[in-house]
Amino acid sequence: MVADNDIVVRTVQLTKTFRDFWLRERITAVRDLNLDIASGTVYGLLGPNGSGKSTTLKIILGLMFPTRGLVRVFGRPATEVGIKGRIGFLPEESYLYPFLDAYETLDYYGRLFHQPRRQRRGRIEMLLDMVGLRGSAHRRIGEYSKGMQRRIGMAQALINDPELLILDEPTAGMDPMAARQFKDLIHELSRRGKTVILSSHLLADMEDVCDRVGILYAGQLRAEGTLDSLLVRRGLTTITTESLDDQTAGQIRSILSERNKQVFSIDAPKDKLEALFLRIVREAQARRERPAQAVGTGEVAEFLRAGPEQKTRKVIEELLAGRQPPAPPSPAAEPKRDVLSPPPRRFRPIAAS
Ligand SMILES: Nc1ncnc2c1ncn2[C@@H]1O[C@H](COP(=O)(O)OP(=O)(O)O)[C@@H](O)[C@H]1O
Ligand SMILES: [Mg+2]
């Protein structure tokens, strides 16, 4: 049982009904939702499109009023202005100014939080480094790809060093390498005590980053709990061993049948598609192969090349300690690379999970 003061977000019987032009109730986007999200948790709100995830997040953020029910954030009403500085938000759709560049965007949000100029500058550089946009810091956001917009959105969400981070579909539009790195970043932020609530319709994608998940369908919570409690198939045992010849497999079957145990399957374990993709890319990188065509997103490569064990972690450490960032590598010394380009010597692969 979690102590009440460890609960960062609580909703009780939360309901949101949208009305039509004639004020007739039309859609119940969220119905009787009860959530208790404890401090330091990565909580995944999962469900197909239209299941009420964004609506729930907007109510938690105080951007939308519930029709019924209660919502508390840090023990306070969600609409209270005093708690806003403790929350970071990455919205589903980019709402950033297309004519500002990445640096100007973060500077603007830093000012909204009244950060002094010097502190702002240091933080912006660290954030740009962390999300891999240092090379595009002076390109207009309107020219960014969807994945790059997610990155700048993430940097913006972290500008005020929030305790609670709310991410609406954080990996939407990202390639698997970038999504993996984003998830490592979320994991790392959580390790450092941040509470993260994220939504996703990519259920499998979120499996390895969430501590707890709630599965929403048509506005209702259909299942809730830790991943282990939801995913373990009770009453079954898996044994993983080296490949077996038919004779050995037959012997195992007969031992088990002597003990009245039914064998449902003996087969080779399968990788997740994500693990397969990451392995293929890393093998190609290890052979220092270049892709046939340049992807042309050199600016994000710096982020992708360094594993969380190294660069991301180091940058986060500095960010949370409020220290100044290391000097940026000069563009001349660091040639631009695309996503799948050969890694530099300091590359260490990210552990696939
Ligand atoms: N402002 C709105 N006005 C009317 N209906 C809305 C509004 N926002 C969301 N909805 C409806 O509420 C339901 C849940 O939407 P949403 O919370 O965006 O789902 P999700 O984020 O899970 O895709 C959908 O049927 C959607 O059409
Ligand atoms: Mg949504």
Ligand 1 atom with the smallest distance to the CA of 55 is 17
Report which of residues 200 and 264 the model is more confident about: 200
Q: Is 73 exposed, middle or buried (0-12, 13-18, 19+ CB in 10 A)?
A: buried
Instruction: Please determine, for residue 98, whether its predicted confidence score (pLDDT) is greater than 70.
Output: yes
Give the mutation target among 11, 18, 22, 169 for probing the ligand 1 site: most ligand atoms within 8 A of CB.
18
Phi first, then psi, for residue 118 (nearest 5°) are -65, -45
Mean pLDDT of 248-266: 90
Tokens of residue 259, six digits: 């003990």
Largest CA distance in the chain: 75
Ligand with smallest separation from the Cα of 55:
1
* pTM score, whole prediction: 0.77
CB atoms within 10 A of CB 335: 10
- Reply yes or no on whether the pLDDT at 335 is more than 50: no
Q: Is the CB of 53 under 6 A from ligand 1?
A: yes
**Is 20 touching ligand 1 by the criterion CB < 6 Å?**
no
Beta carbon of 51 within 6 Å of any ligand 1 atom:
yes
Q: Using the predicted structure, report yes or no on whether residue 332 has a pLDDT greater than 60.
A: no
Residue nearest to atom 16 of ligand 1 (CA): 52
Element spanning 147, H or E:
helix 146-157
Contacts of 325 (CB under 8 A, 6+ apart): 122, 125, 126, 129, 315, 318
Using one digit for the tens of pLDDT, what is the confidence trace for 192-239? 899 999 999 887 778 889 999 999 998 999 889 988 888 777 788 888
Q: Which ligand is nearest to the CA of 45?
A: 1
Per-domain boundaries in the chain: 4-231
- Of 14, 27, 216, the residue with max ligand 1 atoms within 8 A of its CB, to mutate for a pocket test, comes to 27
Looking at the CA of 168, name the nearest ligand.
Answer: 2
Q: Which atom of ligand 1 is nearest to the CA of 51?
A: 22
Token representation of residue 178 = 């970038």
CA 195 / ligand 1 centre spacing (Å): 25
Residues 167, 189 contacting (CB under 8 angstroms): no
> What's the mean pLDDT in 277-306?
56
49 pocket-lining for ligand 1 (C-beta < 6 Å):
yes
CATH superfamily ID and name for 4-231: P-loop containing nucleotide triphosphate hydrolases (3.40.50.300)
User: pLDDT band at 336, cuts 50/70/90?
Assistant: very low
Element containing residue 148 per DSSP (H, E): helix 146-157
Give 307's pLDDT tier (boundaries 50, 70, 90).
very low
Choice from 55, 202, 216 to test ligand 1 binding pocket (greatest atom count within 8 A of CB): 55
Per-residue pLDDT tens for 45-65?
A: 998 889 999 999 999 999 999
Per-residue pLDDT, 323: 46
pLDDT higher than threshold 70 for residue 331:
no
Q: Residue 50: CB within 6 Å of ligand 1? A: yes
Distance (Å) from CA 52 to ligand 1 centroid:
6
Q: Could you say which ligand is closest to the alpha carbon of residue 33? A: 1
How far apart are the C-alpha atoms of 196 and 44, rounded to whole Å? Answer: 8
- Which residue from 15, 9, 45 is spatially nearest to 32, judged by alpha carbons? 15
Q: What is the pLDDT of residue 299?
A: 37
* Of 176-185, 243-252, 294-303, 313-322, minimum mean pLDDT range: 294-303
Closest atom, ligand 1, to C-alpha of 54: 21
190 CB near ligand 1 (under 6 Å): no
Residues whose CB falls within 8 Å of the CB of residue 280, separated by 6 or more in sequence, listed in order: none
Whether residue 259 contacts residue 251, with contact meaning beta carbons closer than 8 Å, is answered with no
101 by Cβ neighbours in 10 Å (0-12 / 13-18 / 19+) ranks as buried
Kindly give the distance from the C-alpha atom of residue 92 to the centroid of ligand 2, in angstroms, as a whole number: 6
pLDDT at 344: 42
Q: List the residue whose alpha carbon is closest to atom 27 of ligand 1.
A: 50
